[in-house]
Structure 1
Amino acid sequence: MHFLTPVFMLAYTLLLNVSCLYGWFFEKYEDECPDRDGAHQYYFGTTNLFCLLQHRLGRRSVPSRRTFIPTHRFIEYRGYYYDFQMNSKVSIAKSRLSGDECSGAKEESPAGHSELSTDCIEGCAKNYRCHFGNYSLLLNNCHHFANRLSKVLCRRGTTCPEWCTGSCDDVEYY
């Protein structure tokens, strides 16, 4: 292991904790998105972040157990998983990113219900970076993405938000 790896991990953990504290104190969370006739359920979910980073960056190490495990957040809607990645692209897949190597799952209870088409949500994914900017650990990470996509999914009706219909194409399919 490189001698800077523990320093990097400590700095990353501290930044992640600052990000979480910012969210606890300054962001308003909503948890009301009732069932509607004809609406489909959607879910929040998480993946072990350290495992995902190792797998996505191609690094391997000896087996170990971590005592502090931040998570990567995604949205599952109508059989598709939507993930905002550190390369500022959104991935769309029929299974969790690195789901066969990394622990994680969607939550047991649905976060809400939506009448929107998968084409609309795919459009939101394609246009996310152009509308909200590049990935930022503190200001625009996977948790921000999931919350913004949840806000779109929780809308009433079938009209897709205007920002989701742009011409940006920052998406990767798996």
Structure 2
Amino acid sequence: CAHCLASVSSSPAVSAPFYHGTTPLSLRRSVDEVATLLPMHRVIIFRNVVFEWGVGANNFEDKVAWEGVREPSDCSVSWSGSAAGSSSCTLQQAMDFSRGYKTRYGTYELLSNNCHLYVNRMMNYLVSGCTRYPA
């Protein structure tokens, strides 16, 4: 994701773009939201860190939000061609949202609380300046 990395700032005061991407599996708001029922895994990159939900466990109850596990240059990710939005939030604020996601929104559910909904909620949280938790 060379275009992602080139445009990402590590300075917390500067607004940074975020992108969403998909990796294969074996209503319009202020951001370009993604479809929520696709047979693929959805991820988001913000400030050069990849965030994802619903991975890394053998059963749905243990699934958690992860950040920084996948490299931004992971070739299995197909990133969006343009930024889905921009945010002045800090990396720590995004990490706090991700780490509190399961507590706030509940356990992973294939149809009602999946990786696509996680990405939409994260994008809407970022675009709010990290001041409003989406429904």
Q: TM-score range by the shorter chain?
A: 0.5 to 0.7
- 8 A Cα contact 1:79 1:94, kept in partner: no
The reply on whether 1:80 has 2:55 as its aligned counterpart is no
Structure 2 unaligned runs (5+)? 1-12, 27-37, 56-61
Shift of 1:91: 1.1
The reply on whether 1:91 has 2:60 as its aligned counterpart is no
TM-score by structure 2 length? 0.68
Instruction: Give the structure 2 partner of residue 11 of structure 1.
Output: none
Helix, strand or coil at the partner of 1:85? strand
Shift of 1:105: 2.0
Query: Cα distance 1:96–1:140, how it changes in 2: closer, same or farther (>3 A)?
Result: farther
Instruction: Give the structure 2 partner of residue 70 of structure 1.
Output: 39
- 8 A Cα contact 2:66 2:99, kept in partner: no
The reply on whether 1:149 has 2:98 as its aligned counterpart is no
Helix, strand or coil at the partner of 1:135? coil
Query: Cα distance 1:126–1:144, how it changes in 2: closer, same or farther (>3 A)?
Result: same
Between the two proteins, the alignment pairs up a number of residues equal to 103
- Which of structures 1 and 2 has the larger relative contact order (alpha carbons within 8 angstroms, sep 6+)? 2
Across the aligned residues of Structure 1 and Structure 2, the Cα RMSD in angstroms comes to 2.4
Shift of 1:85: 1.6
- AA in 1 matched with 2:18: Y
Identity of aligned residues (%): 27
Shift of 1:133: 0.1
The one-character-per-residue Cα deviations of 1:12-49 (angstroms, maximum 9, x if unpaired) are: xxxxxxxxxxxxxxxxxxxxxxxxx9311000110011
Helix, strand or coil at the partner of 2:101? helix
Q: 1:108-147 maps to which residues of 2 (within 5 A)?
A: 108-147=81-120
- AA in 2 matched with 1:89: V
Instruction: Give the structure 2 partner of residue 24 of structure 1.
Output: none
After TM superposition, the runs of 4+ consecutive aligned structure 1 residues lying more than 3 A away are 94-97, 160-163
Query: Cα distance 1:106–1:115, how it changes in 2: closer, same or farther (>3 A)?
Result: same
- AA in 1 matched with 2:52: D
Structure 1 or 2, whichever has the larger Rg, is 1
